[in-house]
Structure 1
């Protein structure tokens, strides 16, 4: 039961963006069934920045004006917790104590206790993976120390900002990149996780430009209609790499149209975003690209030698799949055509490539 409740906490903390205290403050019934097939919403309390009329911090918090969005894994975790604690706080310390049977005190499991339980859960999960002969599912040691309860939100922001297309469910549910969230999750406020998203998005931009700057300095070629704009952007990388520590610094970088360069590993290209030229937005024009909808004829595309090599590697993989006897003929033909298209993109890059030493005027 202890491991089950910890697993529920991890799901809630990682896939909602709630702060640890906000997760702990959730109560049974916080996520009602919607009247029609639509998104589930979580109604809870916020505690940060809440003060009474005298200006003192109000420890009881206040009901959040805008509810959080709940995706299916989060709803499932809440339903499990509601079976464990049908009334009151979902993480009531008495209900989640071992052994069970104590009367609820209205107090939640403490941060230190949950911290220790998370470490115990990691050890238990890894032992179970080894016992089931699944060593690839062992949870590795964290180089930054114990996981604790406060790092889930930052990890979520990292995935949304740096993994377009979504390696976690939230990147699909809430959109791709930072600005897509302004129309959905917590739309009425820029605080909280929006600040983390901006910092992570700015960090991703800085990392992309720093890598591009180093590659170009080493003689890497670049091609595409946005190649020269990418070279200009990369030239500014040394001025801000490593300097992003505050939300204001992040917003300054994200607001600079000359630095809007996004790496898209899924499509094997870079987007040097200019919203007036973007083909990923058919109706609404936003200040960030939809990298899951990259169009091959877009004027914002650039590719480096690294992208060209990855195109060839992916083409080889598809050709091996097509040559397998287990692959049906129509599917093999489709894979072969796709591989040929990837090779043509790599050939075009090799033909059109330039480098930063060439004139950019």
Structure 2
């Protein structure tokens, strides 16, 4: 992902300095908070008189860093002196050293992406796991812009990933204008979220179609209409997904089936039946607020199997957890098995729905 103000990208890390992410101090009650990344902003930095400050200014709000980001910063801090840029070109640009100060240029980052791919493939071959090899890209080298989209793709398909994606890119102020990511308007972050939403839905519908064709069943209030959506001619076949087509497809609620792996269900979203919002009707579901009994819920045989797996895991935890916490874990495990049993009793296959 590319973004000059984005701490989770190589480019943004290059603009941060060693010491930007100090270990949090324990609070008076002994709790240790999250790691915070403190950086500087330049494009919009102003002094007390409102004039542009070329030296930049510290951001008012730091970023909260997850463990992989903290680990990446710690590795970089071992390579550069304290206070220097994390991607100081004098420490990293060993192939073609240049005079002056600053961080790695875009060309250097492109080279490192290709080197990373080569390293992954060598490791996969050496360990006998050829399925982990990154295949050659028919469109050429990955580059910064496409690497950014690849990471966006994976973020969007994680639980609550679209929310994370919006947070991840929502603070961008300047980036690749030609790619349409320059603002938080409809021409910026919203277009990216729309496109990734549609692509994620396309994957979900395709996987459901394949499962039904293989004889699997579905249950839930929205099971029949989910079957109708999945078995009809794929609505996305032959459609070039861009910002315009993404908005048009998102407006068709009959086709929107969202995967929620955290809740182990699918949401065939209809605004008038949604229970995930109490403050009004929204265009898309709030997958982090799924409500039991919602009329949009669909579950598959795979969901039922995973519910039982999760119940078994809760029982194992309960065996090593004192009461009453252990009892609560067992109650939750029983609820999950009850949901799975209800699926088995009420499931519909493609043939039965026909």
Displacement after TM superposition at 1:76 (Å): 9.6
Counterpart in 2 of 1:175? Answer: 163
Which SS does the other structure have where 1:276 is aligned?
helix
* Residue pair 1:261, 1:270 contacting (<8 A) in 2 also: yes
Say whether the 8 Å CA contact 1:244–1:250 is kept in structure 2. no
Q: CA RMSD in A?
A: 4.9
- Structure 1: unaligned runs, 5 residues or longer: 1-9, 32-37, 47-62, 129-134, 166-170
Residue 155 of structure 2 is aligned with which of 157, 160, 171?
A: 160
Alignment of 1:247-266 (within 5 A): 247-266=243-262
Alignment of 1:98-247 (within 5 A): 98=94, 105=100, 109-118=104-113, 141-144=133-136, 148-165=143-160, 171=161, 175=163, 185=171, 188-236=184-232, 238-241=234-237, 243-247=239-243
- Would you say the 8 A contact 1:12–1:77 is kept in 2? no
Could you say which residue in structure 2 is the equivalent of 1:56? none
* 3-state SS of 1:302 partner: strand
Query: Does the Cα contact within 8 Å between 1:17 and 1:153 map onto a contact in 2?
Result: no
Q: Alignment partner for residue 334 of structure 1, among 318, 328, 335?
A: 328
The answer as to whether partners of 1:199 and 1:244 remain within 8 angstroms in 2 is no
What SS does the aligned partner of 2:234 have? helix
Give 1:294 shift: 1.0
Report how far residue 24 of structure 1 moved.
8.8
Query: Aligned partners of 2:234, 2:313: CA distance in 1, in Å?
Result: 37
Q: For 1:268-317, what per-residue CA distance to the aligned partner results, in whole angstroms no more than 9, with x for missing partners?
A: 11111122322222225322212122111212111122212222222233
CA contact (8 A) 1:280 1:289 kept: yes
- 1:26 deviates by 4.5
Cα separation, partners in 2 of 1:119 and 1:268, compared to 1, 3 Å? same
2:64 is aligned to 71
What does the per-residue CA deviation read over 1:123-152, in whole Å, with 9 as the maximum and x for residues that have no partner?
A: 889999xxxxxx9xxxx6423467653444
d(CA) in 2 for partners of 1:214 and 1:117? 38
8 Å CA contact 1:271, 1:302 repeated in 2: yes
State the shift of 1:13 in Å.
7.9
Question: 2-side partners of 1:86 and 1:323: how far apart?
Answer: 48
Residue 346 of structure 1 is matched in structure 2 by 340
> What is the aligned counterpart of 1:271 among 267, 272, 287?
267
User: Which residue does 1:318 correspond to in 2?
Assistant: 314
Q: TM-score, normalised by structure 2?
A: 0.65
Unmatched 5+ stretches in structure 2: 21-35, 45-55, 173-182
Q: Is the 8 A contact 1:227 1:302 kept in 2?
A: yes
Counterpart secondary structure, 1:307: helix
Shift of 1:175: 2.3
Cα 1:127–1:44 shift into 2, 3 Å: farther
